[in-house]
Structure 1
Amino acid sequence: MGSQIPNGNDRSRTYWTPTMERYFVDLMLEHMQKGNRVGHTFNKQAWNDMLAVFNAKFGSQYDKDVLKSRYTNLWKQFNDIKSMLGQVGFSWDDVRNMVVADDYVWDAYIKAHPDARPYKIKSVQNFSDLCLIYGYTTADGRYSRSSHDVDIDDEVTGVISGDGVGTPTPSTTERLRTEWTLAMDQFFTELLLRQQEKGNKLDSNINSYTKEAWTEMLNSFNEKFGPHHTKRVLRHRYKKLFKYYTDITVLLKQDGFSWDSQQQKVVANDDVWDAYIKAHPQSRSYRAKSMPNYQDLESIFGSAIVDKSQFNNNLDEDIVTKAGA
């Protein structure tokens, strides 16, 4: 497919098909999982490995500059879209995989930012994965998070949804600024387990905690990690952990999937993953995602089958009525 362009040095003539781009994105995610990300880019060995595998896949003879040029291009797409989603009136359409807004919003934005015009009709199929790859790379090229981060998609959620309307509400801003590290996740999980042992967990169908439990957990969390967090931040993370737990539990019930206790992640043969992701694209991130606290989450959320929508509705209602208390 890529061999139609014999001269790999001529980047301007490289025709990137959706299949080629998807494969390149998968390679980058794989090397991120391996810890081969250095600063704002990948290490030399990672680029060599990605190039060799990419050329073998597509029968091409590209050089590293072709992949690096695409890497820069994808980074620009990510930044462009993220900037738009931070503006009032813009939101992300999960079905069409593109930024959407009313015509008058587009017209005003394009007048100020002419380069954004293509995004009015442009579909960006891999945006959620670009958030994983570029989400914490700052504008000056530095990488702002450690390799031990386990929650990149908290920012993805805030960027993509914009709380449904593309408007950066306070709750969205909080999520965008909350940098969840492995240590924070582990501590929060321990707090949840401790409150559960105290009998402060509510009805199992709601899978939440008492008002006093949330207050106590917030005080302990802020004492350890700083006073700027709120109940809403913890509750949002609680919902995310529930999502991770249920998604992984569903995966482990499928033929061919199992839990690797050393890597702390779901594992399966490539053909099993490929087939499942084709049917369930939203599960792609779990192919590389490590969840060291999964067994603790099982103790928190239990083995009962829970209606996710009911869980989210109940917790959202709980947030509205109690978060400000």
Structure 2
Amino acid sequence: MPKGKTTPSDSNHPGRDSLQWNDEMDQMLLNALGEEANKGNRHDGAWTTQAYNNMIEALRSTIGPNITKNHIKNRMKTLKNHFAEAYDLFHSLSGFSWNSITRKFDAEDDVWEELIKGKPHAARWRKMQIKHYDILTELFATDRAKGNVAKTAKERRKQWEKENIDLNNYFEDTE
């Protein structure tokens, strides 16, 4: 059973423990997330209470009994942020392809050089592996809306209220 190391966190939060995650633990978390998504325990990008309860139960049996919802939420946030950086950079670029064997984005040297010239921070992705990118794409790519299609939950709720349609007004009188 892989165990993460729990250590007391900073003095600002006495009694709270941090958890040091490793690749094997990340894979277990991502498998649990995928399973909960397949069960339908995720709505509009948010995990249900049942999803968290199921994940806690599954991860306590594999990672250890001290895992909490906060550990899961914090690790998901970290994984999602790292994924978002790579996804937002590469998903619409021409000349790059994801290589699931090397776990890197592939491109010809001149394509990389052109990207790095315009975005120097992209140089790190040339040699860096992106672990779990395939499953992260399945889980989080749809959450990456940008521009005019990106909306907050409040904006979506207002839109749904405006779109509330009374179906009774659309039935034809067939007599």
Q: Which moved more, 1:71-80 or 1:18-27?
A: 71-80
Helix, strand or coil at the partner of 1:5: strand
Shift of 1:21: 0.9
Query: How many residues in Structure 1 have an aligned counterpart in Structure 2?
Result: 138
Which of residues 123, 130, 154 is equivalent to 2:129? 123
Task: Assess, with a 3 A threshold, how the Cα gap between structure 1 residues 132 and 108 changes in structure 2: closer, same or farther.
Answer: same
Q: Tell me if the contact between 2:4 and 2:21 (Cα under 8 Å) persists in the aligned partners.
A: no
Q: Distance in 1 between matches of 2:142 and 2:128?
A: 24
Identity rate of aligned residues, in percent? 20
Q: CA deviation at 1:54?
A: 0.8
Shift of the 5–106 alpha-carbon distance from structure 1 to 2, 3 Å rule, reads: farther
C-alpha RMSD over aligned residues = 2.7
- Counterpart CA distance in 1 for 2:135 and 2:113 is 29
Tell me the equivalent position of 1:285: none
TM-score normalized with structure 2 length: 0.65
Determine the structure 2 residue equivalent to 1:108.
117
Unpaired segments of 5 or more residues in structure 2? 10-15, 154-175
1:1-325 equivalence runs, <5 A? 1-7=2-8, 9-11=16-18, 14-83=19-88, 84-101=90-107, 102=109, 103-111=112-120, 114=121, 116-139=122-145, 140=150
Range that drifts further, 33-42 or 132-141: 132-141
Once the two structures are TM-superposed, the CA of residue 76 in structure 1 deviates from its matched residue by: 2.3
- SS of structure 2 residue aligned to 1:30: helix
| Structure with more relative contact order (C-alpha pairs < 8 Å, separation 6 or more) | 2
> 1:79: how far off?
2.5
**CA distance 1:109–1:100, shift in 2 (3 Å):** farther
Q: CA deviation at 1:22?
A: 0.9
Distance change >3 Å, CA 108–CA 137, structure 1 → 2 = same
C-alpha change, 1:52 and 1:62, in structure 2 (3 Å) is same
Cα displacement string for residues 2-44 of structure 1 (whole angstroms, at most 9, x for unaligned residues):
3422448454xx3221111111111011111111002222111
* Residue 99 of structure 1, CA deviation: 1.7
- Asked if 2 retains the 8 angstrom alpha-carbon contact of 1:98 and 1:119, the reply is yes
Superposed CA offset, 1:263-298 (max 9, x none): xxxxxxxxxxxxxxxxxxxxxxxxxxxxxxxxxxxx
Are 2:4 and 2:25, in contact at CA under 8 Å, matched by a contact in 1? no
Contact 2:4 2:22 in 1 (8 A): no
What CA distance in whole angstroms lies between the structure 2 residues aligned with 1:70 and 1:109?
31
TM-score, normalising length: structure 1: 0.37
Query: Offset of 1:100 from its aligned partner?
Result: 2.9
Q: Specify which structure has the higher proportion of helix.
A: 1
1:144-167 Cα offsets, whole Å, 9 max, x none, are: xxxxxxxxxxxxxxxxxxxxxxxx
Q: Could you tell me which amino acid in structure 1 is paired with residue 97 of structure 2?
A: S
Amino acid at match of 2:3: G
* Letter in structure 2 aligned against 1:27: A
User: C-alpha distance in 2, partners of 1:81/1:2?
Assistant: 28
Unpaired stretches in structure 1, ≥5 consecutive residues: 144-325
Classify the secondary structure of the residue corresponding to 1:2. coil
Q: For each residue in 1:120-149, what CA deviation from the matched residue of structure 2 results, as whole angstroms up to 9, or x when unmatched?
A: 332223222112111322445779xxxxxx
* Counterparts in 2 of 1:105 and 1:94: CA distance versus 1, 3 Å: farther
